Structure 1
Amino acid sequence: MMKLKAYQEEALKALEDFLHRVRVHADAGLPNPLGQAYREVAGRYLDNPPPYYEPVGLEGIPYVCFRIPTGGGKTLLAAHALAPARRFLGQDAPAVVWLTPTEAIRQQTLRALKDPRHPYRQALEGALGEVRVMDLREALALTPGDVGAVSLVLVATLQAFRVEETEGRKVYEDNGHLMAVFGNLETALPEGASSPPEGVGRYSLANLLRLMRPIVVVDEAHNARTPLSFDTLARLEPGVILEFTATPREDSNVLFAATAHELHREGMIKLPIELVVLKDREAVLQAALAKRKDLEALAEGSREYLRPILLIQAEPKRGEDPFTWERVRSFLLELGVKEEQIAVSTGERDDLTGQDLLSPSSPVRYVITVDKLKEGWDCPFAYVLASVRSLKSSTAIEQVLGRVLRMPGARPKEREELNRAYAFAVSEDFWEAANTLREALVLEGFERYEAERAVYAVGLGLEERVPLKAHPKPEVLESLGSKIAYDPKTKTLVLKEPLTPSEKAILREGLKEEDRDKLPQTVRTPSEEGRVLEVPLLAWHGEPLEAEHFLEEGWSLAGRDAHVDFVPGPLGVRGEIGLEGGRVRIARLEGLDRAGRLFGPHVGWTLESLALWLDRHIPHPDLPQEETLPFLYRALGGLLERGFALEDLVAEKRRLRDLLEAKIRAHREAARKEVFQRLLKNPPASLGTLTLRLEGDYFPSNPYRGAYVFRKHFFPVIADLEDGTEEFQCARLLDELDEVEFWVRNYPTWRHAFRLPYPGGTFFPDFLAKLRNGTLLVVEYKGAHLAHTPETYEKEAIGQLWARKTGNRFLMVRTLQELDALRQAARL
């Protein structure tokens, strides 16, 4: 099975945590459990997430979105995301409705999910167990043996569920094939439960899906977010709705957002994009051809097969003297390109049908298009984009730009030149062309600050031109005269060379406030100069010390408390509460429990089978079954002794599972604390260190955008910092201390993040500072409200152990009044 990237794993953790909190809050009878769970989880990944949005007709249904830029593996993530959704629904064999934006994408997705060798299918089986993938025609012919026996995945377009479409009418009409399925179900359903809403046939596929409370996956969901589409989804009464898109709308309930640079760090996309702008169309093509040939020569020396492709965007057949695809093709032939190496993909001709461009037998090295390539076309070998159209529309270039971003093999290459993409464009104005390309990247799901840094000029004597609203201060122009110039006629600032941090600060001060944000990122920070910051980590037998290592020698549940505070949920009552106070949300969850029982396996339960079921559904990779089963028997035995009937425990087995999982988790943490205290008192000989190298892939999702200009940060952007906060004051002091050479704002989702283990998991100290004497100073800031918690003392203790072991310094700052201690620590 294809291994997930770090940001994909983090997205799944976010979903698992969100759905778990929804259950916990609903079971506790809290108002608005969805909104509260969303606020708690999304707040870890987003900067001030908006309130949770519930579309009309979908109230009470978990409905979240994952923002993944183009090339980030949305489909693979969606397949894996079905596992936590299935767990939330409590169904052993759930139904999934997988909606695609177009028919072309539907066919592509269906083929992949049906192919047992494809990573998508393997992920699907890992998430759902035995699975049947269907199109609409196959779903309309389901049999009683299919429903509840295996997981069902229906792949369709959203249009197929619209009642005004021919296919849609089939979904909502009574179906003779399905009558036998309903015949089995209705004996198990409460009276009237199978009665469908208006417009839905009793024996229709739509009504069957409604009873199963399906998981709905919406691919590129922004294409489906209309009132009509919400109405269509509401008819299915989903159990969970999961959106996956590069460009979500504001009301999308984004739970997790990956950055483009996280994708680049994981080898998913090529960055940066080197942009060359020329005035002549033929010169653009000649330069792009030369670059492609250079890349192919580099690729021939690599260990994997790689044939770089040049994607050319021709002009449409309108306007004055258009450089059409025919002219482009003729020009390539004149330059000596072989005919079989050229493929054309336009509305009137498509040479790509049936082509496997990744095959070594394919001769294609040049693909010519006009507006866009056919939907679903994907070729990671596309490295170079040449557009002979004037770059004035970001939408027009966006249609093809995404095609050169995907990385072959989804892993970084040995040669740095093969980790980048290349663009050649026709324009009279580099600044305009660069900004058009940056806007196109935003349409591909990049943050604006990422797009700003992802495109830069190379060679050919190009200068960056920035239009201003006001004249810079004369003294600034004089002091930076060798690197900048100003044209008063066009009100344009010309940047000739990169600026140092202090020079950029001087320039910013010399501009009007409305012009300061227009400055491109031309400052060279230590990381951009190629410097590396080496930081020692605590190590355990040669690998980074993690909290899991505290229990490496094993631990036991024997003798630990197995009592659980179990109270059966008031099923059958919640559904009558109605809409007051938002309690419809809890009624929806009760409907999920009903669906889980209805479509679950129909077997006779015993104490042994319930214990085995709990053991299978509670993760415990660190404990053998010989440890967990006796513990579960003790817990169940105690419940039976307290008067609970076995059938009640079986009916509530998923809630019981959550309680017992939490119980085991608490015992695991207690065992970690015991080992942790022994480690602090008497560090074993096996505790060592290893070196963490901090280099140039620091791309936070929430960068600092404040007014203060930091001068000593190691990277060009700063993670998760807001003007005026206590952490900001701490960062500013580090930046101003003469003893500090440079510093780094540490953040948890960074691949190279400095981390220290403690019994509760891993913590990431806020700041790392390299002092001029060569010492490292690690600083963790805690506000007064957290100053004296047991967790804070544990973190301080492991920090001091790290300092003793490595010969560096660790400081826990609890209040702003303790900043003097930071000054002293830097001067020791």
Structure 2
Amino acid sequence: MTLPLFTLKSYQLETLATLRRYLEKTVELGDADTAFYAITKRSYVPPPSLPGLPYVCLRVPTGGGKTVLAAHTVAIAADSFLRTDAPTVLWLVPSQTIREQTLASLQDRANPNRRALADRFGENVRVMTVQEALYAKRADYDGGLVVIVATIQAFRVEETEGRKVYEANGELMDHFSGLADGQRALLDAGPSGDPVPSLANVLRIRRPMVIVDEAHNARTDLSFDTLARLKPSLIVEFTATPVTPEEHKPEKGIYASNVLHHVSAAELKAADMIKLPVVLRGRADPRETIGDAMAWLDELTATAAAEEKTTGEFVRPVMLLQAEAKSKDRPTLHAEEVKRILVDDFRVPDDHVVIATGDSKGLDGVDLFDRDCRVRFIITQQALKEGWDCSFAYVLCSVAEQKSPRAVEQLLGRVLRLPRAKRKVHEDLNRAYAFATTTSFQNAANTLRDGLVNNGFERVEAQALVRAVPVIPGFEERGSAFVFEEALPAEIDATSFKTNIETATGGRVEIDLSTGTIRARGALTDYDRTALKLAMPEAAAVVIDQLVHRSRGARLKVPDAAQEAIRFAVPRLAVTTPTGPQLFDRAHFLDIPWKLEESDPAPILDFFAPPKPAGDEAHVDVSTAGQVTVQFVTDLHEQLSLALAERGWTKNALVNWIDRRLPFSSRRDITRVSSTLFIAKALDVITAKTGMTVEALAKAKFRLVEAFVKVIGKHRDEREKTAFEQALFPQSGLEFATSSAVELVFDENRYGYNQPYKGGTDFKKHLFRVIGDLEPRGEEHECAVYLDRLKEVKAWVRNTARQPHSFWLQTSSDKFYPDFVALLNDGRVLAIEYKGAHLASADDAKEKRLIGELWAERSGGKCLFLMIENKEFVQVERITDHESEGTC
């Protein structure tokens, strides 16, 4: 059976690329600290008890897919840092519930998490618990990837399960035969001086990579000491809320996370991973809050039905209700009472409601994605079961006033995920909704924003992403509820059912006999509609429908900034073809596939040198405190090679192995036949020059992969640069046009960035509420200030790099993203690239200028391009005043 293709999002690819660069840099420099600074330009916090160890954090907000990223991390670490085909991974999770879920996903061959492992290690994957690891044989580890999923408590010697990890176990004896002295130095020894046959010692031999899920729960001295006992090779943590430098307090045993890469909420939103913005509505009375929320759930349900008719995608919106805790001292709206209100006052069928608190297991065995599932309301108190996830949850309703962001943090995370990570045609289905019982609407909004921050969002983003709707526009407010009226048909005598109506709706619908009208206080639900139709004559059905419709007529409109009314479309550079304009990209100047075998293999010697003679054991030193110090990189690789016996190699086997290890970026335009022919020729060059045998080359196979990545990159750069320049010549036969047929429309819902702007300048003309990837200081910031104050500019966008919905132009090897794109008052578009004087003459800058000026030239004066150097911002004013060719 062919499994459906799972494709990583752009921000996920960028996250993994950053990790790969860091691990490669650590190997290159031999130092985790220096490598971290080289990649991030920030200081590294060495983990206590783990000197020299690479320990980094990938910060991903709720809904960003941390588990699938962690699964892909395994292959990246194995190839770029560990250099082994048989890594051992210790996958630590915060709770037993998450452990069971992670195990299930990694053991399911159809799950994207397991497939991420299988893409690199094939069928040689063993996923196990600690209990299973106590009986695993040496062949299980030697044969491929081993993943042990556990909580960190399972490795603490103070715990019952933890003691088993460190105790002698006869089932593990085969791991300890034929150990080299360097390996024995790593291990705990028994009274006889021989290594204790324990699981802890097995892990020490294997130098496990450690993945820590929700790592902010495991950054204490106790956790670091526990990890140090297992002699890990590196640690990668995944969390939405890392320990910040401000929270770093070593004297209290709390250590800041080394955040290597941060994913923003905007990137998740642009990638269709989460529902944003969160639309907030507040009411003082909890029953009115519930009524509003139910009515909006009905609206969303109708919208979802329309969505299915349009796209075929089934979505059934669900509401989460946050109840109060029971109290002996005062009456509360606890979970059972909220259910009673739903069933008795709002006539909700009992099987539409489940209670999911600590004692109630209403969600157990319930598949909310099943079309026949009847559950629409889930009542909880503070938190649903850990790991619970249903993207159908759209509405969060809090019946008690919440003053702490922690009280809404976890539930808010439950309503953020977008079903199927796919943007919906109906905009209401791309948003999440919160209905709060509150006497202070501003406090409710701030609490909700704080809840977003606790889910891993930046505070600047949270301010923009919570949209408060305190008033229904266009309707009169009477008392504490909005009132809607409809005239009853003259032939209907309401006297007989007046009392029944008011009872059936809990007083939210009443009959005024003096005027012959039916009046609704607040929005009516589908259950109200049903109750009214059952209580009233059939002749009133039309009036009931009208009343329900009117009560919902004030839909939750999101307040729009004035800039959102501006349509900002940028025509892009196209190639004219018989079938119409095509966006100019690599395919127009490169022959694909590329015949790599025709390239010269000799430059491989520029990137590969024979390894220096190494001892037959790792260089390990045991300190007087009992801690093992290792030269991370060389000695780590030697230790791992000692733990594995190399199989017999042939040249063909080595060629195929290297070919499979080439990353996609190296072989994206090369057939396997072409790459294997080139690899074979290059190995012949190395053998002729160095005299290395196939066995010697096999021992250096990971270094060979690095060399091939570099030599292929060198050949590709030369090929692409030449082809790109030839494509722009008039003789190339390509006809260029800057065309609106392939335009990019800037959309706030698609605006992605890595970090929001946190400076103090109040920019008036930026198209969107949040500005992405603009440092508060520096020359680019000065350029933005100049642009914002220029009278000729109507609106501008900080054009963020490597985001899927940013404006780009093709260069020989990459996409070029100008720093700023502005819409002028006369309708022209201006693209600006800022370069410091020391960068302006670089080859990439020349290509950017060339393609930018071609884009402007072929626009017929509609587009302008400017490359600014050394703060010469006055050029912006000159070019916007100039009405001619549109280049500078």
Alignment TM-score, normalising by the size of structure 2? 0.80
| 1:337-736 superposed matches below 5 A | 337-458=348-469, 460=471, 524-526=561-563, 528-529=564-565, 531-538=567-574, 544-547=583-586, 550-553=589-592, 554-563=594-603, 564-565=605-606, 566-569=609-612, 571-572=614-615, 575=619, 587-600=631-644, 602-619=646-663, 620-646=667-693, 647-682=695-730, 683-685=732-734, 689=739, 690-697=742-749, 698-723=751-776, 725-736=778-789
Q: Does 1:308 pair with 2:348?
A: no
In the alignment, does 2:208 pair up with 1:208? no
Deviation at 1:195, TM superposition (A): 5.2
Change in CA separation of 1:71 and 1:629 when aligned onto 2, cut-off 3 Å:
closer
Q: Distance in 1 between matches of 2:690 and 2:770?
A: 61
Structure 1 segment 781-796 matched on structure 2, within 5 A: 781-796=834-849
Say whether residues 1:824 and 2:878 are aligned partners.
yes
Provide the secondary structure at the position in 1 that maps to 2:873.
helix
Aligned residues of 1:14 and 1:256 also touching (Cα < 8 A)? yes
Q: Any conservation in 1 of the 2:618–2:636 contact (CA below 8 Å)? A: no
Paired letter, 2:13 = E
Partner of 1:52: 44
Q: Does structure 2 retain, via aligned residues, the 8 Å contact 1:93–1:599? A: no
Residue 543 of structure 1, CA deviation = 5.4
Q: 1:567: Cα distance to partner?
A: 4.3
Deviations 1:427-463 (A, max 9, x none): 1111111111111111111110111112122253599
Counterpart of 2:72 in structure 1 is 80
Partner of 2:885: none
Which of 138, 149, 161 is 2:143 aligned to?
A: 149
Distance 2:167 2:51 in 1: 26
Greater radius of gyration (CA):
2
Checking the alignment, whether the CA contact within 8 Å between 2:282 and 2:470 is kept in structure 1 is no
The counterpart of 1:175, out of the listed 161, 165, 169, is: 169
Task: Give the Cα separation in 1 of the matches to 2:654 and 2:735.
Answer: 42
Looking at structure 1, the residues matched to 583 and 51 of structure 2 have their Cα atoms a distance apart, in angstroms, of: 45
State the distance in 1 between where 2:844 and 2:242 align.
Answer: 37
Structure 2: distance between partners of 1:67 and 1:727: 26
Q: Is the contact between residue 800 and residue 810 of structure 1 (CA under 8 Å) also seen in structure 2?
A: yes
The answer to whether the 8 A contact 2:182-2:639 is kept is no
Q: List runs of 5+ in structure 1 lacking aligned partners.
A: 27-32, 44-49, 464-520
Check conservation: 1:699, 1:717, Cα contact below 8 A: no
Structure 1: distance between partners of 2:584 and 2:638: 45
Task: Tell whether the 8 Å contact from 2:22 to 2:36 is kept in structure 1 after alignment.
Answer: yes
The 1:535–1:255 alpha-carbon spacing in structure 2 relative to 1, beyond 3 Å, is farther
Amino acid at match of 1:568: P
**TM-superposition CA deviations, 1:499-550 (whole Å, max 9, x none):** xxxxxxxxxxxxxxxxxxxxxx988242x23634333244597654344654
Letter of the 1:307 partner, please give it: R
What does the per-residue CA deviation read over 1:348-367, in whole Å, with 9 as the maximum and x for residues that have no partner?
32211111111112110111
Residues 539, 449 of structure 1: alpha-carbon distance in 2 compared, 3 angstrom cutoff: farther
Q: What is the rounded CA distance, in whole Å, between the counterparts of 1:571 and 1:691 in structure 2?
A: 58
Give, in whole Å, the separation in 2 of the partners of 1:557 and 1:825. 48
Structure 1 residues 222, 705: closer, same or farther in 2, change over 3 A?
A: closer
Q: Match for 1:12: what amino acid?
A: L
Aligned partner of 2:481 in structure 1 is none
Aligned letter for 1:710? F
Measured in 2, the distance between the counterparts of 1:593 and 1:424 equals 56
Contact 1:557 1:667 in 2 (8 A): no
SS of the residue corresponding to residue 315 of structure 1 reads coil
Question: Shift in Å at residue 192 of structure 1?
Answer: 5.3
Structure 2 distance, partners of 1:730, 1:181, is: 63
CA distance in 2, matches of 1:195, 1:233: 14
Alignment partner of 1:16 is 2:20: yes
Change (3 A) 1:322 1:211: same
Choose which of 282, 290, 300 in structure 2 pairs with 1:285.
Answer: 290
Residue 609 of structure 1, CA deviation:
3.2
Q: Is 2:293–2:435's contact at 8 Å kept on the other side of the alignment?
A: yes
From 61, 69, 86, the counterpart of 1:93: 86
Per the TM alignment, residue 386 of structure 1 is displaced from its structure 2 partner at its CA by: 1.1
Contact 2:799–2:821 at 8 Å: present in 1 too? yes
CA RMSD of aligned residues (A): 2.6
Give 1:298's aligned residue: 303
User: Residues 47 and 55 of structure 2 are in contact (CA less than 8 Å); yes or no, is this contact kept in structure 1?
Assistant: no
SS in structure 2 at match of 1:777: strand
Amino acid at match of 2:765: K
- 2:95 corresponds in structure 1 to 102
Residues in 1 aligned to 2:864 and 2:300: alpha-carbon distance in whole angstroms: 46
How many aligned residue pairs are there? 750
Return 5+ residue gaps in structure 2 as ranges: 245-255, 475-557, 883-888
Letter in 2 for 1:79: A
* CA distance in 2: counterparts of 1:616 and 1:658, whole angstroms: 13
Deviation digits for residues 565-590 of structure 1 (CA, Å, limit 9, x no counterpart): 414246449937999xxxx9971212
Letter in 1 for 2:561: R
| Conserved? CA contact 1:272–1:454, under 8 Å | yes
1:19-53 deviation line (CA, Å, top 9, x unaligned)? 11111222xxxxxx32232223335xxxxxx4112
Change (3 A) 1:38 1:687: farther
Shift of 1:148: 1.2
* Structure 2 CA distance for aligned equivalents of residues 101 and 680 of structure 1: 56
1:771 is aligned to 824
Query: 2 CA distance for matches of 1:797 and 1:219?
Result: 46
**TM-score w.r.t. structure 1 length?**
0.86
Q: Answer yes or no: is the 8 Å Cα contact 1:69–1:259 preserved in 2.
A: yes
Letter in 2 for 1:421: A
